[in-house]
Amino acid sequence: MSVESITDTMDVFAEKFEGIDLHGKKITKAEFDDCTFVSCDFSETFFSSCKFTECRFENCNLSLMKLTSSKMSDVEFSSCKMIGIDWTMADWKSLLNADPIRFRECILNDSNFFGLNLEGLVMRECRAKEVDFRNGTFQKSDFSGSDFKGALFGNTHLEGANFTDTSNTMIDVRSNHLKGAIFNRYEALFLLESMGIVLVD
């Protein structure tokens, strides 16, 4: 059985929400633990002081969702549309040892992760165009198979991150921290060429 509605201050465990439309609405102080959200429309939804723990979102529209003072730990997004989200508005600091969030086959274009510490982030086979990762810490993250066209990296900690099979990755090797990061040979050459280095066979 799936729950029919989402309301302020609700506290739910192990429930399934399917086809819920909260477009443009505001939800305050709701807590979701081990919940699944399928084919929901949370575009432009304002989640204020909410908490999502061990939740899963599948095939949802979350574009321009606002997460003011909301907490997320061990949350997975699969095949979701998530354009233009400012992730810096969420509350990451009060979560001690929060488990990373995971994006698989999501559209994350125009999102903001500026200055966030999200070590172990998973962003596999996503479209992450024009996403801002500057001043962030994403050590040991998995970015494999994603498209980073126009994404911004600067003073970004990417030590040990996996960039296998990514495309359009423009990362200045001089102004980012890339020790132990994994790249395909072709992408690594692309990084060197972006520095103006001429490569010959």
Per cent of the chain over pLDDT 90 is 82
Residue 167: how many CA atoms within 13 Å on its side-chain side? 7
51 has pLDDT over 90: yes
Among the listed residues 117, 149, 111, the one whose alpha carbon sits nearest the alpha carbon of residue 131: 111
Mean pLDDT value across residues 105-125: 97
Q: Which domains does the chain have, with CATH numbers?
A: 8-99 (2.160.20.80), 108-201 (2.160.20.80)
Q: What does pTM read for this prediction?
A: 0.93
Helix (H, G, I), strand (E, B) or coil at 147: strand
Distance CA 145, CA 4 (A): 36
| pLDDT computed for residue 190 by the predictor | 75
| pLDDT computed for residue 2 by the predictor | 63
Per cent of the chain over pLDDT 70 is 97
Would you state the torsion angle of the CA atoms of residues 40, 46, 52, 55, taken in this order, to the nearest 10 degrees? 10
| pLDDT computed for residue 192 by the predictor | 77
Q: Which of 115-119, 138-142, 179-183, 189-193 has the lowest mean pLDDT?
A: 189-193
Neighbouring CB atoms inside 10 A of 70's CB total 21
Taking all residues of the chain, what is their mean pLDDT, rounded to a whole number? 93
Tens of pLDDT, residues 139-167 = 999 999 999 999 999 999 999 999 999 99
Place of tokens 């090797």: 173
Among the listed residues 80, 152, 85, 137, the one whose alpha carbon sits nearest the alpha carbon of residue 112: 85
| pLDDT computed for residue 173 by the predictor | 87
193 has pLDDT over 90: no
| pLDDT computed for residue 1 by the predictor | 54
Mean pLDDT value across residues 73-96: 92
Q: Do 45 and 31 touch, CB atoms closer than 8 A?
A: no
